[in-house]
Structure 1
Amino acid sequence: MSDPAALFATAVARHRAGRPAEAAPLYEQVLAVAPDHADSLHHLGLISLDRGEAARAVALLERAAALLPANPLVHHRHALALRALRRSDDALAAFRRALALDPRLAETQHQLGNLLKALGRYPEALAVLRLAASLAPDRAAVWLNLGVAALETEARAEALAAFKHAVALEPDRPESRNILGHTLAAAARGTEARAEFLAALQLRPGYAPALNNLGRLARASGLLPEAVAHFRAALAAAPSAETHSNLLLALNYLPDFPPAEVFAEHRRWAERYADPLAPASPPPAAGPAATSARLRIGYLSPDFNHHAVAYFIEPVLAAHDRTRFEVFCYANVKAPDRFTARLQQHAEHWRDLARLDDEAAAALIRADRLDLLVDLAGHTAHHRLPVLARRPAPAQATWIGYPNTTGLSAIDFRFTDAVSDPPGTTEHLYAEKLVRLPGPFSCYRPDDDAPAVGPLPATARGFVTFGCFNHLAKLTPAVLALWAELLRELPSSRLLLKSRGLGDPAVSDRLRATFAAAGIAAERIRCHGEELSVADHLSLYHEVDIALDPFPYNGTTTTCEALWMGVPVVALAGEVHAARVGVSLLTHTGLADWIAATPADYGRIALGAARDLPRLAALRAGLREQLRRSPLCAAHEFTRGLEDVYVGLVRPPAAPLA
C-alpha cells in the first residue's frame, strides 16, 4: 500500500482502536512519501509524546503546527511536548496560541493553569483555572488544581469550595479526600479533616499522604503519641523526606523520648535523604583574614514572611555592617506578604527559590560564591535541607528556626548560647559543631502593631488569669497536670489558652475534659482558637496576669511577646536546647527568679507571684522597658557579636610566621 491517503486512513483506524504501536509505522510510511503530511506529523507526534519521547514529539508537532496554524489542538499538544522538555516559556506561548484560536478549550485552559502553577505564578494560574472550571464544571481534576492554586494564594475559602466540588464529583478518589482534609485542617476544622483522611484510607489502605496528614493533625491537636504512630505508618508505606521531617519535629515535643534516640532519628533522615547528595568536591574554603573583601553571608529560609523567624532575623539583617558584609537572602516563600517586602529591603541580594528545584537552587547559591550559608528552618515546614546537602557554600550553619540538630554532615555549625546549651552537656546530640554566641542565641524585634501595656487585669477582676499562647503540641499531659495543680491551689484563678487548634470544638472540649478530670470546672478554662491580627493577638495579653511556659518544648516568640506586653513568664529548666530556651530568654531579660528547677519550684514561683499583686503590677509596668534594654533587643550589639563569630569561622587568623 503506497497511497498516502489509504495509509493514513489505516493508521488512524489502528490508532483509534488503541493500537498505536501498529499505527506509528504507517504514519512513518506516509511521511516517507509525503514529508509535509500535516496530520501524520500531528498523530505521530502524539504517539511520541505518549511514549515519553518528548524531543521527537516536539520536532514533529512543531512541523505540524507550522503546517496547521489554525488548528488549536495541534498547538495544545505541541505545548504539552514542550512542557515535557521543560521549555516552559515556549510551552506557555503554544498554549496561548491554541487559546487565541479557541478560548473555550477547557483542557487547554486547564493545562495552561497547571503550568503556571508549576512555575509558581499562582495568581495567574488561579485566574486561568477559574475559567477552566467554568468551561468544564464536571471535571474533578480541574477543581482539584483550582483548589491548589487558591491555597497557594491564601484564598482558603475558595480552595475549600473547590476541593468539596471535586469530592462531590469523584467521591471515591483518595487524592481528593486527602487534600480536602488538609484544607479543613488548615482552617482548624480538625474533626471534619480527620473524617476525610480516614475516608481516603478506606478507599486506599496504607495511603501515605493521608497517614502523614493524620499525623500532622494529631500533632496540631496535642495528641503526640498518635501523631508519631501515624508518621511511622506513613514512612513504612512510602518513605518520604517530608514525612520523616514531620516525625522529627514531633519527637521534640515528647517528654519521655530519650534525646540520644532523637539525635539518631535525625541522623537516619540525613543518611537517607541528604548524605547521598554530597558533591564530590565541595566549594573551596575562604582564605585567611588578610583579605580585605567583604564576607558574603547568605540566609536561607521559607519564613521570610509573617512568621516567628522574621521577628528574630529582621534585626540582624537591618543591623549588618555593610562595609564588612555582603548579605544574600534565599527565600523559599510561597505566600509573600508585607513582612517579606520589609525584609527584602534589608538584603543587598534577594533570591527567590520557591520556583526552583533543589539542584537549581544549589547551583544559584553556588554561583553567588558565599563564604557562609545560614539555614533558618531546620526540619520545619518547607525547609530546603536537600539544597544544603549539596553543599553550595564552603561553610554552612543552622540557626533560629528549629530547636535541634539537622542531622546533616554537610552543615558545619549550629549557633546557640551558653544557657540553652551549657558547655559540655549537649555536644553529643548534634551533627553540627555548637558555636555559642557571646550573649543570647537570638535577638528579638517587637512588632510595630503591638498595643500599649495594659494594667494588671487581676486588680480590676479580683482573680488571677494564667495564660499560654503556645502550640497545642507543647501542652503535654505533665504540663496540663501541673497547671491543674496551680488552679486547684488558687481556686479563684482562671486559665486562658490560645492556639489555632482550639478553633475545633472537639479539641477544646477534650482539653476542658482533661482539666475537669483533675477537678477544674470548665468555666475556669477559656480556649481561644480564632485567627487574629497581630494587634488583636497581642491585645489578649491584656487579659493575662502570668504566662506559663510549656515544657519540655518551651516557647520562644510567645515568651518574647508576653514579656513585651508586660506579662512575666514562668519557665522550667530542662536538659536540651528546646527545654532551655525559656531559661535563656528569662536569663537575658534579667528575670532569673522566674526560672524553675523542678515542677514544684514552677508552682511555687507562679503561686507566689499570683499572691503578690502589687509586686506583679509593678513588674508589669516596667517589663517592656526592661526587655527593650536587655541583650534580647540590642540589635546592634548582638549583630556585631554575631559578625565577629562569622569572621572567626570562615576567615580564621593567619598562622604566625615561624
Structure 2
Amino acid sequence: MNKNVSVSPAQRTLQQAWNAYNAGRYADAHKLALTAKRSGGSMPDACYMESLAVAALGRNAEAKQLTETSLKRYPGHPGLLGLLGSLEISLENYATGAALVEKSLKLQPNASHLWGMLGTAYYLSGDYYGARLAGEKAVALTPNDPIAVGNYASSLRESGSSVEAIPVFRRACALDPLHRINRSNMLFALLYDEQIGADELRREATDWAETLRRTPIAAGAPLQPSSGERIRIGILSNDLRRHACAYFLIPLIANIDRTHFEVHLFSLSGVNDQVTMKIRMYAEGFHDVSKMSEADVVKAVRAQNCDVMVDLGGYTGASPLQYMVHRLAPKQLTWLGYPSTTGMKEIEYRITDWTGDPAGYDGNYNEQLLRAPVFAAYHPIVTSPLQIYERKYRVQQTPALQNGYITFGSCNHIAKLGPKTMRLWSAVLKRCPDARLLVEAAGCERESVRDMLRERMEQYGIDTSRVEMIPRDSSMQYLTYNRIDIVLDTAPVTGGTTTCDGIWMGVPIVTFSGNTFHQRVSAPFMQAAGLGELICETEEQYVDMACALASDAEQLNAIRMSQRQRAEQSDMFDAPRFTAWFEDQVIEMCKEYKPLTQPRESRREGVFFGGQWYPVEDLVMSVAAHMHLREYVPLQNVLENLTSTWYRHWMVAFGLAEIKYNNFQQEEAIELLVEAIGMRPYSLPLYRKLALWLDEQGLDKSALAQLLDDQFGLSLEMLESSPPPTAFEILGIELQTTGSDANTSAEEVAA
C-alpha cells in the first residue's frame, strides 16, 4: 500500500531550482533557491543551490563568500565543501581546494565531478600521479563522460605514460568528436609515440582541421587589410605569460621595425603575470579575448584588420587554430608552439629551418615551409634582463673535475620521459658504471611522483640508487646545470627551451635526431652553437657519443668553457637577424594586397618599447649621456631595453660595470669591465678605464700590462700617459662641443 509523501512548498521550489540548474537556466535556479531559503527555514541544500547557481553565472568571488558563510552554519555539508574546494581550485589555490574536495569525497565518494576536480587540482599543481589516480576514479564512475576520460588521458601523458594515453584520448574523442581540447590533446600526444610517423600525424591533423572547418560560425564583416602604410602583424596565443614561448617571442616582437610594421597580441589566457606585462610593452595592442565565445573571438580579432596572423600554439591547450580555421587575416602562418603540421589549408605558411626540416620534409606539412637561419632566436629569461650578467649565471667548470664522476642530467617535463628516453638512458648508464643521473622535473617534490619514476626506470634496468630527482624551481632554472656535466636529451620529443638553457650554461647536450620536426627541435640550436657532432641519428650513436664525452673530463670542461661564447655569436642568439628575415617573409606574403608604396630603405635596428620605436643609435647616445651625467637609474632602464636587441654586448657589460662601480660594488664592476674587454678586445679606452679602476682599488696591474704587450705591443706606462676616457670616447661618440657646453649637450641627449 502506497503512502502519500508530504513535500513542503520549500522542497518543491528547491526541486524546481535543480531542474532549472540542470537545464542551464542558472539565473532562474538562483531566484528559486532564494525563494526556497525564505520559505523553508533551515535548508542547507537551498544554500548550496544558491552558491552553485551564482558560481554557474560566473560570479565566483560572490559564490565563494556565500559558500563560506553557509559552511559556518552547516560545517559538514558535502556539497558546500566540494563547491568551496572547486572554487578555490578555480582561483589557483590548489592545495586549499584539494583538501576541501578530499573532505567532501569522504562524505560522498561517488561524486564523479569532484574526483575530476580533484584530478585537476593535482594536475595543475604538478602531482601527476595523484591526478592519474583521481582520474581513474572519475572514469570508473562515469565511463562515458568525455571530459572525465580526456582529463584522465592528460594525466597519463603528463605522468610519462604518453603512449598509453593515446588510446584513452581516442576514446574521449569518440565520445564527443567535437570536443576541442580532447582532440588537440590527442594530436599532441601522438608526437610521443615513436612508431607514429609524419604521414599519420598529417592525416590526423587534416581530419581534425576538416571537422573544425565544418563548424558553423558567424564570422562578422569580411576581411580587410589594415589602413595606412604599415603592415599589421597579429599573434594569437594561449601562452602570453611565463611560458617557453616567451624566450623566443620577446626577441622577435621587440626588434620588429616599427617604421614598416606594427604588432597586435591576442591572448586566449586570462593569466596576467610578470612576463605578460613585459610582453605587452613590446606591442602596439594587447587584446584579452580569453572570456569570449568562439564567435566573438573571431569577430574581435577580425575587427583589428591584421594583415598577417601568427598561430603561436598549434594543437596545445586552448588552441588558436580553432579560431584561425575561420580565417582571421588574409595571410596566416604557424610558428613555434606546435612541432608538426596544423593540417589546415587556412594556414598558408610554417616557419622552420633547414636543420629541423631538411630538404625532402616539405611533404610532411599542409603549409608552405619558410626556412629561417634558425627557426627562432633565443634569449634567456630571468627576473630582469640584465641579470644574465650576474656572477651566478656565469659558466662554471664541469662538476666532474670536483666530483670525480660524471653527472648526466635532464631538466625536462615528465611527459617526455617515455620508453625511448628510458632505453637510451639505461644504455648510457650501463656503459658508464660510475656515472650518476640528475633528473629535474615538475612534481619531483612529491614522493609519489619520485616512486612512479623509480618504478619506470627500474623496468628499463636503471639502477635508481644512482639517480637523484629534484623538483623544478624557477629560481634554479639555469643554476641546476652547474651540477650537470652532460645533458641527455629526451626522445622522440626532444628538448626545446631546455636545450637552449643547457647550451647557454655551457653544458654539452647529446640529442637523438629523428625523421620528423618534433624529433629534431634541439638540432637547429645545437647546429648553430657548433655542437653538430653531438646530434645523433641512431640509438647506438647516441650511447657512444654520451660515453665518449664522459671518458675525458678535461676535454668536457674545455667544451663547456667555450660553448656559451660560440652560441652567443651564432644565429641562435641573433634576434635582429631572425627578425629581419621574418620581416622579409611578411612583406613578400602581403605584397598582393599591401604592397610597399616605396622601396624599403636599409633596415634600421632598434627596440620598440612602451609605445615608441627607439633606433639603436639613439639608445647608444642615451647610454653615453646617462653615464656622463651619472644618472644610473635611467641608464639601467636603457640597458634593459638594449638587451632585447643586443642580447649580450660589450656596451651593456660596460654600462653595468659603471653602475656597480658607483654603487660600491667595485669587485663585480671590474669583473664586468674585463668581460666587456673580452667582447671588444681592441678598444684601448676600455683598457685605460680598467687601469684607472685597478689603481683606485690598489690592485695588481701586472696581468693588464702583459695583456697590453701581447695584444698591442704597448706598455702600461704608455697607456696611462693618456687622460682617463669619457663615456662618449669609450662608446666611440664625438660631441661637437667644448668646455661647459659638453654637459648641456649630454643633458639634451639624455632627455
Bin for the TM-score computed over the shorter chain:
0.7 to 0.9
Give the 5 Å matches for 1:406-485. 406-423=342-359, 425-436=360-371, 438-449=372-383, 451-452=392-393, 453-485=395-427
Structure 1 residue 647 corresponds to structure 2 residue 587: yes
Q: CA deviation at 1:52?
A: 7.8
Distance 2:17 2:313 in 1: 44
Q: 1:510 to 1:156 in 2, by over 3 A?
A: closer
Residue identity matched to 2:101: F
Aligned counterpart in structure 2 of residue 492 of structure 1, from 427, 434, 437: 434
Deviates more, 1:275-284 or 1:519-528: 275-284
Give per-residue Cα distances to partners, 1:117-140, cap 9 Å, x unaligned: 865x76676556544554554554
Distance 1:108 1:209 in 2: 27
Give the 5 Å matches for 1:85-104. none
Corresponding residue for residue 237 of structure 2: 301
Give per-residue Cα distances to partners, 1:330-353, cap 9 Å, x unaligned: 112233211111111111111111
Corresponding residue for residue 143 of structure 2: 205
Give per-residue Cα distances to partners, 1:205-255, cap 9 Å, x unaligned: 333322222211211122123211211222233332211111111100110
Structure 1 residue 225 corresponds to structure 2 residue 157: no
Q: CA deviation at 1:604?
A: 2.5
Give per-residue Cα distances to partners, 1:587-609, cap 9 Å, x unaligned: 12222122112222222222222
Corresponding residue for residue 294 of structure 2: 358
Q: Is the 8 A contact 1:113 1:124 kept in 2?
A: no
Give per-residue Cα distances to partners, 1:255-298, cap 9 Å, x unaligned: 011321121111222222344347789844649xxx96111111
Distance 1:128 1:531 in 2: 37
Give per-residue Cα distances to partners, 1:512-563, cap 9 Å, x unaligned: 34544555432112222x241x222322111100111112211101101111
Q: Is the 8 A contact 2:308 2:332 kept in 1?
A: yes
Give the 5 Å matches for 1:121-140. 126=64, 129-131=67-69, 133-134=71-72, 137-140=75-78
Distance 1:182 1:52 in 2: 25
Distance 1:14 1:493 in 2: 74
Which secondary structure does the structure 2 equivalent of 1:396 belong to?
strand
Give per-residue Cα distances to partners, 1:185-213, cap 9 Å, x unaligned: 33343444333323223333333322222
Deviates more, 1:334-343 or 1:384-393: 384-393
Q: CA deviation at 1:586?
A: 0.7
Corresponding residue for residue 475 of structure 2: 535
Q: Is the 8 A contact 1:114 1:145 kept in 2?
A: no
Aligned counterpart in structure 2 of residue 254 of structure 1, from 190, 193, 197: 193
Corresponding residue for residue 620 of structure 2: none
Q: 1:339 to 1:654 in 2, by over 3 A?
A: closer
Structure 1 residue 401 corresponds to structure 2 residue 340: no
Give the 5 Å matches for 1:176-215. 176-215=114-153
Residue identity matched to 2:103: H
Which secondary structure does the structure 2 equivalent of 1:373 belong to?
strand
Distance 1:74 1:232 in 2: 41
Corresponding residue for residue 571 of structure 2: 631
Q: Is the 8 A contact 1:547 1:562 kept in 2?
A: yes
Aligned counterpart in structure 2 of residue 384 of structure 1, from 292, 303, 320: 320
The percent of aligned pairs where both chains have the same amino acid is 30
Q: Structure 1, unaligned stretches of length 5 or more?
A: 1-12, 21-41, 62-71, 78-97
Aligned counterpart in structure 2 of residue 341 of structure 1, from 277, 281, 285: 277
Structure 1 residue 170 corresponds to structure 2 residue 105: no
Corresponding residue for residue 603 of structure 1: 543
Corresponding residue for residue 622 of structure 1: 562
Structure 1 residue 521 corresponds to structure 2 residue 463: yes
Structure 1 residue 571 corresponds to structure 2 residue 511: yes
Which secondary structure does the structure 2 equivalent of 1:163 belong to?
helix
Residue identity matched to 2:155: L
Distance 1:204 1:116 in 2: 23
Distance 1:465 1:54 in 2: 60
Corresponding residue for residue 24 of structure 1: none
Q: 1:325 to 1:491 in 2, by over 3 A?
A: same
Q: Is the 8 A contact 2:316 2:338 kept in 1?
A: yes
Pairs aligned (count)? 578
Corresponding residue for residue 310 of structure 2: 374
Q: Is the 8 A contact 1:153 1:335 kept in 2?
A: no
Q: Is the 8 A contact 2:313 2:338 kept in 1?
A: yes
Residue identity matched to 2:377: C
Distance 1:200 1:514 in 2: 24
Structure 1 residue 270 corresponds to structure 2 residue 206: no
Deviates more, 1:508-517 or 1:167-176: 508-517
Give per-residue Cα distances to partners, 1:620-648, cap 9 Å, x unaligned: 22322332222121122211211111111
Q: Structure 2, unaligned stretches of length 5 or more?
A: 1-5, 598-751
Q: Is the 8 A contact 2:224 2:305 kept in 1?
A: no
Q: Is the 8 A contact 1:190 1:504 kept in 2?
A: no
Distance 1:399 1:604 in 2: 34
Q: CA deviation at 1:301?
A: 1.0
Give the 5 Å matches for 1:105-144. 119=58, 126=64, 129-131=67-69, 133-134=71-72, 137-144=75-82
Deviates more, 1:232-241 or 1:305-314: 232-241
Deviates more, 1:593-602 or 1:505-514: 505-514
Q: CA deviation at 1:501?
A: 4.6
Q: 1:116 to 1:440 in 2, by over 3 A?
A: farther
Q: Is the 8 A contact 1:279 1:391 kept in 2?
A: no
Q: 1:294 to 1:112 in 2, by over 3 A?
A: farther
Which secondary structure does the structure 2 equivalent of 1:608 belong to?
helix
Q: Is the 8 A contact 2:444 2:472 kept in 1?
A: no
Q: Is the 8 A contact 2:241 2:272 kept in 1?
A: yes
Q: Is the 8 A contact 1:294 1:323 kept in 2?
A: yes
Q: Is the 8 A contact 2:143 2:149 kept in 1?
A: no
Q: Is the 8 A contact 1:311 1:445 kept in 2?
A: yes
Q: 1:278 to 1:641 in 2, by over 3 A?
A: farther
Corresponding residue for residue 10 of structure 1: none
Distance 2:140 2:380 in 1: 47
Distance 1:316 1:607 in 2: 38
Corresponding residue for residue 556 of structure 1: 496
Q: Is the 8 A contact 1:588 1:630 kept in 2?
A: yes
Q: 1:631 to 1:523 in 2, by over 3 A?
A: same
Distance 1:154 1:296 in 2: 35
Which secondary structure does the structure 1 equivalent of 2:482 belong to?
helix
Give per-residue Cα distances to partners, 1:149-188, cap 9 Å, x unaligned: 4234321112212322332343221111111122223334
Q: 1:114 to 1:371 in 2, by over 3 A?
A: farther
TM-score, normalised relative to structure 1: 0.79
Q: CA deviation at 1:53?
A: 12
Corresponding residue for residue 723 of structure 2: none
Residue identity matched to 1:261: E
Q: 1:17 to 1:166 in 2, by over 3 A?
A: closer
Residue identity matched to 1:150: E
Q: 1:148 to 1:347 in 2, by over 3 A?
A: farther
Which secondary structure does the structure 2 equivalent of 1:276 belong to?
coil
Q: Is the 8 A contact 1:467 1:547 kept in 2?
A: yes
Corresponding residue for residue 161 of structure 1: 99
Q: 1:142 to 1:302 in 2, by over 3 A?
A: farther
Distance 2:564 2:66 in 1: 49
Q: 1:148 to 1:299 in 2, by over 3 A?
A: farther
